[in-house]
Chains A and B, each alone.
Chain A
Amino acid sequence: MSDDVPALQLLAPDGTFRARGASEEFVPYIEALDDEMLRAFYRDMSLTRAFDIEATNLQRQGEMALWVPSHGQEAAQVGSARAARPQDHLFPSYREHAAAMVRGVDPVDIIRMLRGLTHGGWNPAAHGNFHIYTLVIGSHALHATGYAMGILFDNELRATPARKSTGTKSSTKAVNASDDNEAVIAYFGDGATSQGDVAEAFVFAASYRTPQVFFVQNNHWAISVPVSVQSRTPLYLRGTGYGIPSVQIDGNDVLVSYAVSTKALTAARSGEGPQLIEALTYRMGAHTTSDDPTKYRSHEEHESWAKRDPITRYEKWLRSRGADDAFFAEIAAEAGDLAADIRRRTLALQDPVSDTIFDHVYSEPHPVMSEQKQWLTEYSESFGDAS
């Protein structure tokens, strides 16, 4: 890592828990978690890894046009998504499979998109407020920000004059009230930080003091271009320039991701405005199944990150806290079943009917859609007799 200040970290790559300096304040967030939740983090990461490997295989076997691997980035995603409350809205890019699964998206719905069956895949309102993937880099940062503006405006509308005049930080009651408030997470990568839409999102968020967290997964590469081409300063300093409190974390440490995200989301939902987290992580695989990373990055770099694998590290720590072989065997079996189920259901997917070209382009009747849909039906039927 090229940075002067060490990133916040609770779990060292060797699996030891050690909170130093600025990281110390995050220990209580972890102490508040029970074993069940701590094990859920492991399960989330492992199932996502299994899904990702199976999907990569399916792509290699010609079952998908493309796959976008998440391998290596599970801790950043699981920690932040687990920190979100049910009412929160998450706006992903296209690599956030772990966050998607935490929020209840069916992995096969992600596959449906990459298999060419749909441009979306799920209804966010019915899937943990996890929005659909966006392929135009950075665009969704503005949608997230607009959504967060809406939350803010709604809160103001709902606030009674009495509550409005109450001091903001005075009582426990106020804190409880803010627990129910909604917040937003926008996920994007290091490359996306160069996009105008991300810069504009920072401007709007800071200007309106929106309840949201910008979660930057700096996996050090934008396809084949290293992060040094995007920025000469650590990316989190960008946020600071917009007046957005910003921190850098070890993105392969699920505990620090969870703790720092929880703090940032709490600040956002309590009226302290937008926050930014830069999670230092690494894309262990190719950008997508269409490229060969050995063409642009070194074996040494890859190996150095392999030593910081988020799941291996976390497994060591869980074992040190008493998780036994039976637990890990159980998760491994579940992961295997999940992969098999995903394969079976992927192979059973049906192509969409041609009507879907026209349906939903508009939400209200549209003469051109009706005409062209009817034309296509008649045209298709005109071949009926010949066959």
Chain B
Amino acid sequence: MSGATGAGATAARVTELPMAKALNAGLRAAMAADDRVLLMGEDIGPLGGVFRITEGLQAEFGARRVLDTPLAESGIVGTAIGLAMRGFRPVCEIQFDGFIFPGFDQITSQLAKLTARHEGTLTLPIVIRVPYGGHIGAVEHHQESPEAYFAHTPGLRLVSPSTPNDAYWMIQEAIRSNDPVMFFEPKSRYWPKGTVDFDAPAAPLHASRVARAGTDVTLLGHGAMVSVLLQAADVAESEGTSAEVIDLRSLSPIDYQPILDSVHKTGRLVVASEAPGFVSIPSEIAATVTEKAFYSLEAPVLRVTGFDAPFPPARLESTYLPDVDRVLDAVDRALVY
């Protein structure tokens, strides 16, 4: 473990960390700050989770704060609800995106609705961490992007960090939220390092963020897509196009003001995501921006997404997933108008 992993580290308060370690530090800080915070999931104890996000936490906080649960996703979410009714703040780890569906009913029919069903007398401060997305060459059910199912469900909040710094701060804010938060971790970004500032909090949980300023076209996405958009903006610049990149950060609710400000300036918007595009987060944003910034638009809002086909075998993932070229193709199409 590197030296500065959050609470207790005094020396290096700004450090280079991969997102995996930043999340680990964020979880540790949240657990140290509030002894009602519990981690629950499959293989998160001695193993530290299949992605090692919880590494060392069971040794530090004990087996009653970091629970290796039975292998049952509905059971994990359903018992987390009961624990939250008891005053705990459970943080559930879903081992892989494609395995969230056995827990779907508890998330959408129970977790999302119980505060309203209790007319506000019950809050459910539960975080569900979901390592999501492709680019890791894995087998079926291990590379999916199921965000839209949950964004469609009232009562849930959805966020997704794209940088180690956001990961460190956003996981702590998600845990402090009194509403259920689905926390989508871009697993292809777990290992690249980035600067984490342990002193300066990141933007609020539900704020979107301009990741790169530009004037000709706005590129919008979340999680792993943000680094693709930034690379695309670099290439576009070398070709004389100035692209603004916005990191969505919050998928529900969506922080529209920075997006609308940007569109008022550029007149062109390209929204990208790894998930299939049909009834997707980019579709929702395209509709809303069209309603709210119609007279600023110089071109239709374009979507760059995974195909409307199941996630393919890994040897085809680079064809399926939106890459720099597909983003630039959309930029070119937007500029034609």
A interface list, Cβ under 8 A from B = 118-120, 123-125, 131-132, 136, 139, 141-151, 153-154, 156-157, 196-197, 200-201, 203-204, 207, 356, 359-364, 366-368
A204 to B38, CA, bound (A): 16
Q: Which of B8-16, B68-76, B184-192 binds A?
A: B68-76
CB-nearest residue of chain B to A147: B82
Asked if residues A143 and B81 are in contact (CB atoms below 8 Å), the reply is yes
* Smallest Cβ-Cβ distance to B77: which chain A residue: A142
User: Which size class do B's interface residues fall under?
Assistant: 35 or more
Bound-state Cα–Cα, A177 to B154, Å: 44
B155 near A150: Cβ-Cβ < 8 Å: no
13 A–B contacts from the bound complex (CB under 8 Å)? A120-B118, A132-B117, A139-B106, A142-B77, A146-B80, A146-B81, A149-B83, A153-B88, A157-B64, A360-B118, A360-B120, A361-B116, A364-B177
CB distance from A25 to the nearest CB of B (A): 32
A146 to B89, CA, bound (A): 12
Best-surrounded residue of B38, B75, B85, B120 (most CB of chain A within 10 A): B75
Tell me the smallest distance from the CB of A199 to a CB of chain B, in Å.
8
Partner of A201, one of B75, B83, B118, B120: B75
Query: 8 closest Cβ contacts across the A-B interface?
Result: A146-B82, A142-B78, A150-B86, A146-B79, A200-B75, A360-B120, A147-B82, A120-B117
Kindly list chain A residues whose C-beta atoms are within 8 Å of the C-beta of B178.
363-364
Q: A139-B105, A146-B86, A197-B74 are in contact. Are A360 and B80 (CB under 8 A)?
A: no
- Complex interface: stretch among B41-49, B107-115, B294-302: B107-115
The reply to whether the CB of B253 lies closer than 8 angstroms to some CB of chain A is yes
**A to B contact number (C-beta, < 8 Å):** 129
- List 5 extra interface pairs beyond A153-B64, A204-B75, CB under 8 A: A119-B116, A139-B109, A144-B82, A359-B119, A362-B115
A361 CB to closest chain B CB (Å) equals 5
Is B123 an interface residue, CB under 8 A from the partner? yes
User: Which of these, B74, B82, B121, contacts A200 with CB under 8 Å?
Assistant: B74
CA distance A123 to B117 in the complex (A): 10
Q: How far is the CB of B295 from chain A (nearest CB, A)?
A: 20
- Indicate if the CB atoms of B78 and A146 lie closer than 8 Å: yes
- Tell me the smallest distance from the CB of A90 to a CB of chain B, in Å: 13
Q: Are B87 and A150 in contact (CB under 8 A)?
A: yes
User: A125 contacts which of B75, B79, B109, B121 (Cβ < 8 Å)?
Assistant: B121
Residue of B nearest to A184 (CB): B82
Report B-chain residues with C-beta under 8 Å of the C-beta of A356: 119
Q: Which residues of A contact B154 (CB under 8 A)?
A: 361
A338 to B167, CA, bound (A): 57
User: Is B105 in contact with A136, judged by CB distance below 8 angstroms?
Assistant: yes
A136–B110 CB distance below 8 A? yes
Contact A362 B87 (CB under 8 A): no
Interchain CB contact under 8 A, B75 and A203: yes
Could you tell me the distance in whole angstroms from the C-beta of A242 to the nearest C-beta in chain B? Answer: 11
Inter-chain CA distance A119–B155, complex, in Å, is 14
Specify the chain A residue showing the minimal Cβ separation from B124: A363
Cα of A27 to Cα of B134 in the assembled complex, Å: 64
* In the complex, residue of chain A having the shortest beta-carbon distance to the beta carbon of B69: A204
Q: CB < 8 Å: which of B85, B109, B116, B157 contacts A136?
A: B109
